[in-house]
């Protein structure tokens, strides 16, 4: 089956006509403030690593010995460093590890997890392995954006808490949805969240029109036709995946949106 591209120059990726609203590939960690990124790491310590008493360590201005979050499991203490940065290089890793290893290691922390909001390169990974070899009494881990995305797909509660319910439904695996999260939401545009239900429905109508136009053009290019009723039904099914309370009426509002 051929696919329709948005432009003739071939620069745009092909569009899958059967995926009107695909899953998100990654979470916008860079949109979080440094403090909220620390809170995200605390949630990971509590709900992913199942640590007891996981909490932010210290306050601004205090010596923290390279720790932002601490927690305990079976008598062993774990520590986390939250690095909300756009780039994390070898020198950054060395500084972070030295601060912890040469510090007082409060609570006798034996496992350190450095969590970054960006992806990491091979030099960083090699340096981490070298430090681990030099410090066999410690467990040193580095969770980058790729690891965070992979992990959080199974934790919609955490994703919803920091990025919103709509993002959780579009990012997390279907089987992990909590019934409370899988409730109707107001489309995908941030401004629609504070708008009235009528405004949210209008956003869905615009999406419906885009889907219909794309599918009609695709069938024209393939030299075939599909009854409008079938196209409309399929589009409404796709539209329902966004979590709206009810699809907009195909009569009136849809036609008006096309004219616009």
Residue 28, pLDDT score: 96
Per the rule left: phi > 0, alpha: psi between -120 and 50, beta: everything else, 65 is left
User: How many residues are there in the chain?
Assistant: 260
> Rounded distance, CA 69 to CA 57, Å?
5
CATH 3.40.1350.10 range(s) for the chain read 29-152
Reported in sequence order, the residue ranges of 133-210 that DSSP labels E, i.e. its strands, are 139-143
Q: What is the CATH number of domain 29-152?
A: 3.40.1350.10
Residue 205, pLDDT score: 58
> Rounded distance, CA 71 to CA 109, Å?
9
pTM, two decimals, is 0.64
Given the DSSP bridges, would you call strands 52-56 and 111-116 parallel, antiparallel or unpaired? unpaired
Residue 65, pLDDT score: 87
> Rounded distance, CA 128 to CA 140, Å?
7
Helix 34-47 with 156-163: angle, nearest 10 deg:
160
Q: What is the dihedral of CA 235, 237, 239, 244, to 10 degrees?
A: 150
Burial of 63: CB neighbours in 10 Å, binned 0-12, 13-18, 19+: exposed
> Rounded distance, CA 80 to CA 44, Å?
10
**pLDDT in single tens digits along all 260 residues of the chain:** 444 444 445 555 565 555 567 889 999 999 999 999 999 999 999 999 999 999 999 876 677 888 999 999 999 999 999 999 999 999 999 999 999 999 999 999 999 999 999 999 999 999 999 999 999 999 999 999 999 999 999 999 999 999 999 999 899 987 766 555 555 444 444 444 444 444 444 555 566 666 566 656 655 665 555 555 555 555 555 554 444 434 433 333 333 333 33
Residue 184, pLDDT score: 46
Scan for tokens 């203490």, then name that residue. 77
- Give how far Cα 223 sits from Cα of 65, 121, 153, 218, Å: 68, 48, 40, 9
Residue 199, pLDDT score: 46
> Rounded distance, CA 91 to CA 93, Å?
5
């Amino acid at each position: 089956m051929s696919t329709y591209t948005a432009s003739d120059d071939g620069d745009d990726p092909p569009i899958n006509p059967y995926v009107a609203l695909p899953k998100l590939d990654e979470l916008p960690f860079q949109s979080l403030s440094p403090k909220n990124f620390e809170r995200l790491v605390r949630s990971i310590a509590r709900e992913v690593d199942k640590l007891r008493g996981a909490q932010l360590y210290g306050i601004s201005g205090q010596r923290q010995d390279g720790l932002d979050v601490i927690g305990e499991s079976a008598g062993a203490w774990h520590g986390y460093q939250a690095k909300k940065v756009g780039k994390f290089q070898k020198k950054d890793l060395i500084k972070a590890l030295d601060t912890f290893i040469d510090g007082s290691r409060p609570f006798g922390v034996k496992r350190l997890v450095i969590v970054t909001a960006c992806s990491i390169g091979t030099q960083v990974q090699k340096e981490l392995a070298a430090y681990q070899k030099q410090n066999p009494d410690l467990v040193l881990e580095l969770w980058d954006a790729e690891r965070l995305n992979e992990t959080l797909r199974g934790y919609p509660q955490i994703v919803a808490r920091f990025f919103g319910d709509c993002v959780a439904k579009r990012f997390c695996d279907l089987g992990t949805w909590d019934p409370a999260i899988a409730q109707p939401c107001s489309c995908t545009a941030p401004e629609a969240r504070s708008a009235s239900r009528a405004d949210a429905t209008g956003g869905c109508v615009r999406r419906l029109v885009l889907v219909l136009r794309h599918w009609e053009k695709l069938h024209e290019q393939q030299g075939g036709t599909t009854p409008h009723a079938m196209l409309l039904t399929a589009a409404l099914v796709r539209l329902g995946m966004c979590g709206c309370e009810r699809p907009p009426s195909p009569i009136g509002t849809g036609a008006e949106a096309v004219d616009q």
